[in-house]
Structure 1
Amino acid sequence: MSKKQDIINTALNLFNSHSYNSIGIDRIISESGVAKMTFYKYFPSKAKLIEECLNTRNHNLQESLDAAIAECDPKDYLSHIRTIFVWYDAWFRSVDFNGCMFQKAVEEISKIYPSSLQPAIDYKEWLKAQLCKGLQHLGISQPLQLASFLSSILDGMTIQAQINPEQVRLDDYWKRVETLIQMELV
């Protein structure tokens, strides 16, 4: 693994476990085991590091969700959408779940480092496109609007899971989502 990747992985873990504002460059340098000069060779500013971390997070999420969807029946588009919800539910129950790094970025650093928000925007657009694709294949007349709404439901589930994961009951959410989809099919 490269020194640059060591820095990114260390920063991702620290930012996920704590916050962007509470973690300084010196701690990242120390915990990644690189020299200060090496750090600044790759990342001239904290903003660039955060942006690179969020790009990496975006890539990792897309890769993981794509792999989960690829295991579905290729013609069962409702299962594609449900798989996204199941993936999120599993993430909420994972040991390293500390909320969404994109949501944290919007809350903590959007005014300080506005350029670092692009990966969050890119992920949300990608997620909506995945949902939209499934909804289109199901025959929904306005798939983008419903995909945006489903994406908002996932955001809400993520926030609720951060507060109390036991209150996020996938089956309850999915019944409502399925009802919404069925209503749009009529």
Structure 2
Amino acid sequence: MSKKEDIINTALNLFNSHSYNSIGVDRIISESGVAKMTFYKYFPSKAKLIEECLVTRNQNLQQSLEATIAACDPSDYLSHIRAIFEWYHAWFHTADFNGCMFQKAVEEISKLYPSSLQPAIDYKEWLKGKLCQALNRLGVKQDEQLAAFLSSILDGMTIQAQIDPKQVHLEDYWKRVNTLIQMELSAA
């Protein structure tokens, strides 16, 4: 792993475990084991580091979700959507789940570091695109609207999981999501 990757991974872990505001550059330098000059060679500002961290987080999420979807029957698009919901539910129960880093960035630092918004926007657009693609192939006519709604449900699940992951009952959510999809299909 390169020094730059060490810095990004250290910062990602610290930002996820704590917050963007409570973690300073000196702590990231110390815990990543790099010299100050090396840090500033790659990241001239904390804003640039946060942006790169969120770009990396976006890439990691996309790769993980793509692998999850790839494990599904390629022609069973409903299973693709369910797999996304299952992935989120599994994530809520991981040891390092502390909420969505994109949501945290919007809440904590988007006014101070506006560039931190773009990776969050990119991820949301990608996720909606994945959902929209599956819905379209299922035959849902208003695929974009339903994809946006399903994305909002995932956001709500994520916030609920921050409060208490045990209260996020996947089967209850899926039952309602599936009902919505079936209603859209019968209206088509």
- Normalising by the residue count of structure 2, what TM-score does the alignment of the two structures yield? 0.98
Post-superposition CA distance 1:24-54 (Å, at most 9, x none) = 0000000000010100000000000000000
Q: Secondary structure at the match of 1:94?
A: coil
Amino acid at match of 2:177: V
The separation in 1 between residues aligned to 2:3 and 2:110, in whole angstroms, is 27
Amino acid at match of 1:134: A
Residue 158 in structure 1 maps to residue 161 in structure 2: no
Q: Would you identify which runs of 4 or more consecutive aligned residues in structure 1 move more than 4 Å? A: none
In structure 1, the gaps of 5 or more residues are none
Match of 1:132 in 2: 132
Pairing 1:41-52 to 2, within 5 Å after superposition: 41-52=41-52
The separation in 2 between residues aligned to 1:160 and 1:47, in whole angstroms, is 28
Match of 1:75 in 2: 75
Amino acid at match of 1:91: W
Match of 2:146 in 1: 146
Post-superposition shift, 1:71? 0.5
The separation in 2 between residues aligned to 1:112 and 1:93, in whole angstroms, is 31
Amino acid at match of 2:54: L
Post-superposition CA distance 1:106-159 (Å, at most 9, x none) = 000010000111000000000000000000011001100000000000000000
In structure 2, the gaps of 5 or more residues are none
Post-superposition CA distance 1:58-91 (Å, at most 9, x none) = 0000000000000100000000000000000000
The separation in 2 between residues aligned to 1:182 and 1:32, in whole angstroms, is 49
Match of 1:97 in 2: 97
Pairing 1:53-72 to 2, within 5 Å after superposition: 53-72=53-72
Q: Percent identity?
A: 82
Q: Secondary structure at the match of 1:140?
A: coil
Post-superposition shift, 1:184? 0.4
The separation in 2 between residues aligned to 1:94 and 1:166, in whole angstroms, is 12
Pairing 1:118-129 to 2, within 5 Å after superposition: 118-129=118-129
Match of 2:180 in 1: 180
Amino acid at match of 2:28: I
Amino acid at match of 1:7: I
Match of 2:4 in 1: 4
Q: Between Structure 1 and Structure 2, how many residues are aligned?
A: 186
The separation in 1 between residues aligned to 2:150 and 2:116, in whole angstroms, is 25
- Normalising by the residue count of structure 1, what TM-score does the alignment of the two structures yield? 1.00
